[in-house]
């Protein structure tokens, strides 16, 4: 997935996929640990940047994804 291209009109499937990854990823896995923080911080910033341009249908999913990302970042 190209994390640099999170658009304001994000496809619902992509948003669902990102939520699944955020929940399933193991931050304690040494092969992932060094990559998780920079990638997740970037995704979080992109989501936050687009918070004013998302639809009301996307708002709850964005909030949930941001919560999941914060949860993972607290464990890294």
pTM of this prediction? 0.74
Which among 20, 16, 17, 21 is positioned nearest to 61, based on CA atoms? 16
Domain boundaries along the sequence of the chain: 12-75
* pLDDT at site 9: 52
Mark out the alpha helices in 1-76 (DSSP H runs).
12-24, 30-49, 56-75
* pLDDT at site 44: 92
Q: How far is it between the farthest Cα atoms of the chain? A: 38
The SS3 of residue 41 is helix
In tens digits, the chain (76 residues) has pLDDT values of 444 454 445 667 788 888 888 889 888 888 888 889 999 999 899 888 888 888 887 888 889 899 999 998 998 8
The SS3 of residue 24 is helix
Structure tokens that stand for 19 in this block: 């939520």
* pLDDT at site 13: 77
């Amino acid at each position: 997935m190209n994390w640099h291209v999170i658009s304001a009109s994000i496809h619902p499937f992509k948003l669902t996929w990102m939520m699944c990854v955020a929940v399933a990823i193991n931050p304690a896995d040494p092969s992932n640990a060094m990559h998780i923080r920079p990638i997740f911080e970037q995704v979080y910033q992109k989501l936050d940047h687009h918070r004013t341009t998302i639809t009301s249908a996307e708002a709850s999913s964005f909030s949930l994804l941001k919560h999941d990302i914060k949860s993972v970042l607290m464990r890294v």
